[in-house]
Homo-oligomer: A and B are copies of this chain.
Amino acid sequence: MAPRKYEQRVRAAAADETRRRILESMYNQLRETPAKTISVDRVAQDAGVARSTVYLVFGSRAGLFDAFGKYLYDRAGFDRIVQAVQHPDAREHLRGSLRAASEVYAVERDAARALYSMGLLDPDAMAGMALRLEQLRARGMEYLGKRLAEQGSLRPDVTEAEAVDLLYVITSFDTFDLLFTGRGLDPPTVAERLIAMAERAVCRPADRVS
């Protein structure tokens, strides 16, 4: 018996709907009760779906978090941190990245914290997203470092490698959160602090604006 060809638009759409609902309920729970560890069961119930469906769709708890990472990445516009302001002036690009980072991180602070902490604490479970995200950011900073070097915007006593290292630190979520949650600063002030720190640490003094 030859396998039949099926082309099911409606059912595929329904499946996508379910998937979306699950991720959304996870997002809501993270916002409502950031402290509590989220259980697959609660997510499923909140989404009005059987627990087994979550496993069916995402494979495992880790898979769920991985997918949630992508979801959050798109939703919050994390890519703005790296790509964002493709300004011809590298120094302006740097400032844009830090402003974008402050905004994005602030909006999704709780979700991002849960995701990052999860990834740090349970590497095999979360190997996926948090790690990939960090690599993306690392590459972005390597690119930015190169551009700053090419445009002669680096301090004379700073190698390109050092600049990349420092930019990697300064654009990280952890650094943002140390100022935002740790020091209780509001996002614009955080951005100010980060920009000041970055420019002083890697940009040549003469080039710096007022």
* A contact set with B: CB distance below 8 Å: 35, 37, 113-114, 117-118, 120-124, 134, 138, 155, 158, 162, 165-166, 168-169, 172, 174-175, 178-179, 182-183, 185, 193, 196-197, 200-201, 205
Identify whether the interface residues of A are mostly helix, strand, loop, or mixed.
helix
- State A178–B173 Cα separation when bound (angstroms): 10
Q: Is the CB of A37 within 8 A of B205?
A: no
User: Is B168 a contact partner of A178 (Cβ separation < 8 A)?
Assistant: yes
Evaluate contact between B197 and A166: CB separation under 8 angstroms. yes
Are A193 and B165 in contact, CB atoms less than 8 angstroms apart?
Answer: yes
A162 CB contact (under 8 Å) in B121, B165, B193, B201:
B193
Identify 16 residue pairs between A and B in the complex whose beta-carbon atoms are under 8 Å apart, listed by A's number. A35-B123, A37-B122, A121-B121, A138-B182, A155-B200, A162-B196, A166-B193, A168-B178, A168-B182, A169-B197, A174-B174, A174-B178, A175-B175, A196-B201, A201-B201, A205-B205
Q: Give the distance in Å from the alpha carbon of A178 to the alpha carbon of B37 in the complex.
A: 25
Q: Which of A114, A158, A183 is most buried by chain B, counting CB atoms within 10 A of its CB?
A: A183
A124 in contact with B201 (CB, 8 Å): no
Of B121, B122, B158, B175, the contact of A169 (CB 8 Å cutoff):
B175
